[in-house]
Amino acid sequence: MLIYPFKYLDDSVQVSINPDSQGAATMDQFSIADRQRYAELKSEPKKQEFLWSRAALHSTGADLKYIEYQGKKPITDNGHISLSHCKGGVAAAFSEELEVGIDIETKRENLTRIAQKFTTEEELARFDCEPHTALQFVWGIKESLFKLYGYGSVDFKAHLEITAFEWDPEKRQGWGIAWVGQTCQERPEPLQCLVQTALVGEQYICMATHRIPTVPFESERTVLREWVPSDAPWLYDLNMNPQVVRYTGDAGFTSTHSALNLIKNYPNYQRDGYGRWMVIDKSTGNPIGWCGLKNNPWGIDLGFRFFEAAWGQGIATECAVATVQKAKALGLSGLIGRALSENIGSWKVLEKVGMHRYDSVPIEEFAQDYNIAEKDLDSWKGQMLHMYKLELL
C-alpha cells in the first residue's frame, strides 16, 4: 500500500510498501528494458518478486514505461526511483526532485558477525536504540546510500559514514545525516544525504535522499552559498568574537573540528532545501559571515551573523534582501525574525527588508516557555524581545 513511514519529505518523495496488487496488471506498462529483464527470469518466485516491485513503483506515480538501467540501477527520465525487496516485503520510492535510495529488510541474524566489515563502534554509538536494531538500520541506511550513489566501487565502511542520527522509540522512526565519500567522474564531490528509518511491523525500512546543492546567488557585493567543510575555520573565528555572539545565546566552538562537525551534520539543506548560507565578499573571495533561513516549529526565521569588520556598511541589509528574494523564489509563505531591544542593528535590518514588528515581550517572560541559558538571561536582563514577521504570498 502507499504509505509514508518517515518523519520528513512526505511532500517530495512517494513511498510504497507491500502493495496489495502483485503486479500482473502493470505488465502492459513495462518499458522495453523491463520486458527483457522479466523474460530472462527463470524461477516463478523471481518473476512474482519482479512484478510486485513494479506494482509498488507504479503506485508511487512513477511511469514504468520509461524505466532504463544504469548498470543495475533502475533510472527514469521523469524523476528518481529506487526499489528494494526482502522475504515477504517490497518497497519503492519515487521523487521528481530528490535522488533517492530505499531498502527493506527482515531481521538478519548474521549482522553481528559481519558488523566490523561495514561499520564502527563510533558510528553505532550514534544510534540510541537496541543494539541489533542499530545494526539493522546502519546496514539498511548504507544499502540505501549505495543505491543512491549508483556507480559501484563503494566500501560500506570506508566510503559511507552516518555522522548523526536521532531515534524516536514511540514512533519507531529515526533520521540523520550521512555522507557518501566515494567519488568518480560522474560524482566528483562527496554527497551529503538525509537518511531516515522506520520499523514497520518486523520490517526495517531505510531511505536516503540527496538534494542538489543550492546554486549560489548574489547581492551587489556578495555571493551567498551553502556551507562547505573548508568554512570550518571561518565559522570558528566568527563565533569566537564575544561581540558577534553577544545577543545570540550561542557559545563559541571548542575547536575548528567542532565547527567542522556542525557543517558535516547540518541537516537543513537536505531536509528543508534551504538554510544559513555563507556570505562571500566578491572583492576578496573570503567569507565575511552568514545569512539565511532556519525552519523552526514556530516559523521560518531570517537570521544573519557577520564579522565585526563587515558591520556598518549595509552588508547585512543587502544580504537579508537577497535572502528574502530567495525565499520568495522557493515559494515560502512567510518569514519571521527576532531581535533583542539592545541589538539595534539587527532589528533595524529586519525592518529595512519589510518586516513588521507584531509583538515585544520581556526576555524573562519569553524564557518561561523557551530554554535560555542562565548566563545569557542574566546578561539580557531587562531587555525586550522584538518579534517580526513578513508575509511573502
Q: What is the pLDDT of residues 337-356, one digit of tens each?
A: 999 999 999 999 999 999 99
Q: How far is CA 178 from CA 125, 142, 156, 217, in A?
A: 14, 9, 12, 26
270 has a pLDDT exceeding 70:
yes
pLDDT of residue 22: 65
Cell of 390: 513578513
88 has a pLDDT exceeding 80:
yes
pLDDT band at 56 (very low <50, low <70, confident <90, very high): very high
Cβ-based neighbours of 112, under 8 Å, separated by 6 or more: 132, 135
Cell of 305: 551573523
pLDDT of residue 342: 97
Task: Give this prediction's pTM.
Answer: 0.94
C-alpha 342, offset from chain centre: 35
User: Which of 64-73, 90-99, 159-168, 174-183 comes out lowest in average pLDDT?
Assistant: 64-73
Q: What is the DSSP string of 303-333?
A: EEEE-GGGTTSSHHHHHHHHHHHHHHHTT--
389 has a pLDDT exceeding 70:
yes
Contact 300, 284 (CB under 8 A): no
pLDDT of residue 29: 92
Q: What are the phi and psi torsion angles at 252 (to 5°)?
A: -70, 155
Residue with cell 505488465: 27
Higher-confidence residue of 275 and 71: namely 275
- Could you read off the pLDDT of 375-386 as tens digits, one per residue? 889 999 999 999
- Whole-number Å distance between alpha carbons of 31 and 46: 18
Percent of the chain exceeding pLDDT 90 equals 90
Closest CA to 141 of 212, 211, 210, 205: 205
Cβ-based neighbours of 283, under 8 Å, separated by 6 or more: 221
- Could you read off the pLDDT of 223-242 as tens digits, one per residue? 999 999 999 999 999 999 99
**HEC readout, 106-172:** CCCCCHHHHHHHHCCHHHHCCCCCCHHHHHHHHHHHHHHHHHHHCCCCCCCCCCEEEEEEEEECCCC
All domains in the chain, ordered by first residue = 14-210 (3.90.470.20), 217-391 (3.40.630.30)
Angle between helices 344-352 and 315-329 (to 10 degrees): 40
- Whole-number Å distance between alpha carbons of 165 and 123: 9
Q: Which amino acid, one-letter code, is at 155?
A: D
Contact 253, 241 (CB under 8 A): no
Give the pLDDT mean for 266-286: 98
- Whole-number Å distance between alpha carbons of 160 and 164: 13
- Whole-number Å distance between alpha carbons of 166 and 176: 6
207, β-bridge pairs = 102, 196
pLDDT of residue 328: 98
Cell of 287: 567569507
Contact 294, 335 (CB under 8 A): no
pLDDT of residue 2: 62
25 has a pLDDT exceeding 80:
no
- Could you read off the pLDDT of 151-200 as tens digits, one per residue? 989 999 999 999 999 999 999 999 999 999 999 999 999 999 999 999 99
